[in-house]
Amino acid sequence: MNSENDVNAAQPAQNEQQWAGYGVDELRYRRALALVRLEAQKATIVERFKPKKKPQTERTFGMMSGLFQSIHSKLTFVDYVLLGYNLSKLLLRLKKRK
């Protein structure tokens, strides 16, 4: 029994091959696969932290509410002050005409 183990240890197994590393094609394939996984993970992270849209209230009037919301999001405080000033001037002119 002992002599059989010595014979097997001295001769390498026929189906055992020495690993020479990855070939160029396999490296390219593995790199592409890793990049696809990375892009998928990025997409899930971006989707997870994307701000949720606010649910529309029942008082929306279709296109006009969308227009108002887009204008409202673009205006600053100074724009509101100037808008109020111009509106008050217009109302005073209309009042003087009467």
What number is the average pLDDT over the span 62-90? 78
> pLDDT tens digits, residue range 26-60?
999 999 999 999 999 999 988 888 877 766 555 55
CA angle 45, 47, 50 (to 5 degrees): 105
Q: What pLDDT does residue 28 have?
A: 96
Could you tell me the two tokens for 74? 């673009």
Provide the whole-model pTM: 0.37
Could you tell me the two tokens for 56? 């529309």
Helix, strand, coil percent values for the chain (each to nearest 5)? 70, 0, 30
Q: What pLDDT does residue 51 have?
A: 77
Q: What pLDDT does residue 8 have?
A: 55
pLDDT at 91 over 70: yes
What number is the average pLDDT over the span 4-14? 55
pLDDT at 76 over 60: yes
